[in-house]
A and B are shown apart, each in its own frame.
Chain A
Amino acid sequence: MSLRHRGHRAAGASGGRASVVVRTRWASGRIDVRLGAVSGALGVLAVVVAVLALGVGDYPLAPARVLGALAGSGTGFERTVVVEWRLPVALAAVAFGALLGLGGAVFQSLTRNPLGSPDVIGFDAGAYTAVVVTVLVVGSTGYWATAAAALAGGLATAGVVYLLAHRGGLAGFRLVVVGIGVSAVLGSVNGYLVTRADVEDALTVGFWGAGSLSRLTWASVLPALALAACVALACAALVPAMRRLELGDDVAVALGTRVGRARLGLLVVGVASTALVTAAAGPIGFVALAAPQVARRLTRSPGVSPLSAAATGAALLSCAHLASLGTAQVFRPVPVGLITVCLGGTYMIALLVRETHRRGGALW
């Protein structure tokens, strides 16, 4: 498995990059040391924050009792609170963040454009529309029904955007413009559907629409985790093809890639990773857009990497989850989707400012 970015010498002023050669029975290649270290650190951060989040809540539990409940001791009800209520949410924050980062990386690589993220080009809006219709029209709120609807809606939107943007080749720019158009239409449809709904239905959909983890249970987290593992494996298998596609279709063909099949596979992986999260927690904005870009800048690599993007996404959503719990303690519960927007957006802006300053010159 090669995670090393080609072409960096031309792109980076810092010269070459540290890398280690990995040889195993089934794969050999170079792993960029910085990329590995940053991804590892972010992954550890995500897990540490998730564990901290287990200690926060309205039910009073000292850290020792939380750990005790995790380990299996403690009273029955403390175990219920920690293992049945808090753990699935904390775990989902890490896994969903990773999925969103992964989906963003896949799409940004596919479109060769940071704006080609699922949240910008409308795939999560499509998934959301499908779920809103399922809840309002069919009246179903079970995990599998919403997950299937989200996946179908996401894939259908992806298909529509792909077809509309495809015209003798798939220009990244055209894809983004078409995606913004489709996502604007879907956003309007969603807004309209929600305002037309009964109060009770609107409450369900509205709560879900804010992007919140707080109602997740094992019943929805377990299947989501199982599917997430499949998506991650599929993505890992597709990474070499993804790298070759980034060099351009001609080069990819010359290197023996079946371009159409690889692209379709990546599309499905990208949509699935977004739709999985949308189905369980509603649209959580900005992680898919920001995580790959933040990761790219942290690892100083010229292209997006699914591994570091997933680690960044996990850290971002995990921190947002902890912050959401914190605000609930201090004054009011704030949906995690709102916090990802503020945290991810601010960090993104900071990075952009730094980058534009580095390009030099006076402002204005």
Chain B
Amino acid sequence: MIFRWSRRPAVALTALPVVLLALVGCASSEAAPSTGGGASSSTSAAGGGLLPAAEGATQYPLVLDTWAGQTELTERPERVAVIGFSPNLDALQALGATPVYTMGEETDWPWRDQGWLASIETVDTATREDPISFEAIAASDPDLIVAVNYVADEADFARLASIAPVLENAEQVRGDQISWQQTQRMVGEALDLSAASEQVISDAEAAVARTAAEHPELAGKTLTAATDYSDTGIAYYTVAGGTAERVVTQLGFAPNPRAQAFVDEPSVSDERLGELDADVLVVFYLDDAVRRAREATPLFQAVPAVADGRYVSIATGEPGSELTWVMRRGASALSLPWAVDVLADRASEVVTS
């Protein structure tokens, strides 16, 4: 009969994309900076001189063999993009090599050289929620992508490889079994800085050994490190055979026999906090409120290490709280000497008092 076009839904429907367009219009024009939302830009180091002089040891073309596929570096890379966790960026900082792209980090690592960080062209802070921002990486025009321990599947690898050669492990490694030395050596070889990498590694290992030697009072003692996730309970970090245990044994600590029980299931029940016991107990807390709540419970107070004062507590944001990350998968030539130093000092305080 009468054909009536209802205005209100029509207005709503046409208004919607208009608003959206207004939103994106300003951001997508060619004049806008090439990177994601929170990206900060600085061009101070652009145009050569990003890497130290080549050592001439690496033969190019260099084939990069990874678990997900193969790419080839035809010549020494100049513009390096780094994605993945902090050890990848650490490996470049340790060599004094400046990447052109990196993902923004959530934490100001104590071992991070802020001046060096500021010289990176693109620090892409938009990437955190979406693991890899392929377009932002492509926009930084890299000729090598360092993505060790980070590529999730073959499709992601293929997409990265269409931008530039990709540096990844030859085999997939579990998150708590990563070797920072291997990462450092891979980066060194790709950038023709192998000798410098070996130097960085031996320096770091010597620094760790020096810290251990300075703290004979810790030798042979046991240490438990754990994180209180509040709602989901306490997670046992220093499980037998894990990265965290390796970090503390390098300081001279003995493996904790109780750590064997947490290999398959690293959660500690609120009713059995006694299992945390060791000569030194280190507990990380999400914040001070969580710490106060935990320390108020009788069962926690009854843990021998807590009752005897052999207990170190660190809440997020407090000095040394970055230790948790180094114990999980953040170990590198830069972070490890810092971490064992902090750990030895804090443990020494409670052991000797």
Contacts and interface: CB of A to CB of B under 8 A. Distances in A.
Contact of B28 (A45, A56, A81, A199): A56
A15 B1 contact: yes
B175 A34 contact: no
Interface string B1-19: 1111110111011101100
B320 interface: no
Contacts of B317: none
Interface residues of A, number: 60
B3 A141 contact: no
A330 B162 CA distance: 26
Q: Point out which of B24, B153, B156, B162 has the most chain A C-beta atoms below 10 A from its C-beta.
A: B24
B67 interface: no
B29 to A, nearest CB: 8
Contact of B37 (A80, A297, A315, A328): A328
A139 to B, nearest CB: 11
Contacts of A347: 12
A91 interface: no
Given A45-B13, A322-B20, A328-B126, A58 B133 contact: yes
B28 A57 contact: yes
Given A34-B3, A322-B24, A199 B175 contact: yes
Interface stretch (B135-143, B275-283, B287-295): B135-143
A207 B131 contact: yes
A328 B35 CA distance: 10
Contact of B23 (A55, A62, A323): A323
Q: Point out which of A195, A215, A217, A325 has the most chain B C-beta atoms below 10 A from its C-beta.
A: A215
Contacts of A37: 5
B9 A77 contact: no
Interface in B266-312: none
A229 B2 CA distance: 35
A298 B17 contact: no
A332 B9 contact: no
Contacts of B210: none
A352 interface: no
A330 B37 contact: yes
A81 B16 contact: no
Interface in B161-188: 162, 174-175
A81 B129 contact: no
A35 B126 CA distance: 42
A188 interface: no
B130 interface: yes
Interface string A266-298: 000000000000000000000000000000011
Given A42-B13, A62-B30, A326 B23 contact: yes
Contact of A59 (B12, B130, B139): B139
B6 A300 contact: yes
Nearest to A320: B20
B40 interface: no
Q: Point out which of A48, A77, A199, A332 has the most chain B C-beta atoms below 10 A from its C-beta.
A: A332
B162 A58 contact: no
Contacts of B30: 60-62
A217 B139 contact: no
A95 interface: no
Nearest to B14: A45
A300 to B, nearest CB: 7
B71 to A, nearest CB: 15
Contacts of B130: 212, 214, 328, 333
Contact of A85 (B8, B13, B17, B159): B159
Contacts of B134: 85
Contacts of A14: 4
Interface in A1-44: 14-18, 33-34, 37, 41-42
A77 B138 contact: yes
Contacts of A60: 30, 32, 34, 139
Contacts of A212: 130
B96 interface: no
A253 B212 CA distance: 86
A58 B3 contact: no
A52 B9 CA distance: 22
A198 B155 CA distance: 21
Given A81-B135, A326-B24, A326-B27, A58 B34 contact: yes
Interface string A94-132: 000000000000000000000000000000000000000
A60 B38 CA distance: 16
B221 to A, nearest CB: 30
A239 to B, nearest CB: 23
B242 interface: no
B135 A332 contact: no
Contacts of B129: 332-334
A16 B232 CA distance: 60
Interface string B119-163: 000000010111101111011000000000000110110010010
20 contacts: A18-B1, A45-B13, A49-B20, A52-B17, A56-B24, A56-B27, A56-B28, A59-B136, A85-B134, A200-B174, A200-B175, A315-B13, A319-B17, A322-B17, A326-B24, A331-B38, A331-B126, A333-B36, A333-B126, A354-B8
Given A56-B24, A329-B24, 12 more contacts: A52-B24, A58-B35, A58-B138, A85-B159, A195-B232, A215-B156, A219-B155, A322-B24, A325-B24, A326-B20, A328-B37, A332-B128
Interface of A: 14-18, 33-34, 37, 41-42, 45, 48-49, 52, 55-62, 77, 80-81, 84-85, 141, 195, 198-200, 203-204, 207, 212, 214-215, 217, 219, 297-298, 300, 315, 319, 322-323, 325-326, 328-334, 343, 347, 350, 354
Closest 4 CB pairs of A and B: A329-B27, A58-B135, A58-B136, A59-B135
Interface of B: 1-6, 8-10, 12-14, 16-17, 20-21, 23-24, 27-30, 32, 34-38, 126, 128-131, 133-136, 138-139, 152-153, 155-156, 159, 162, 174-175, 232
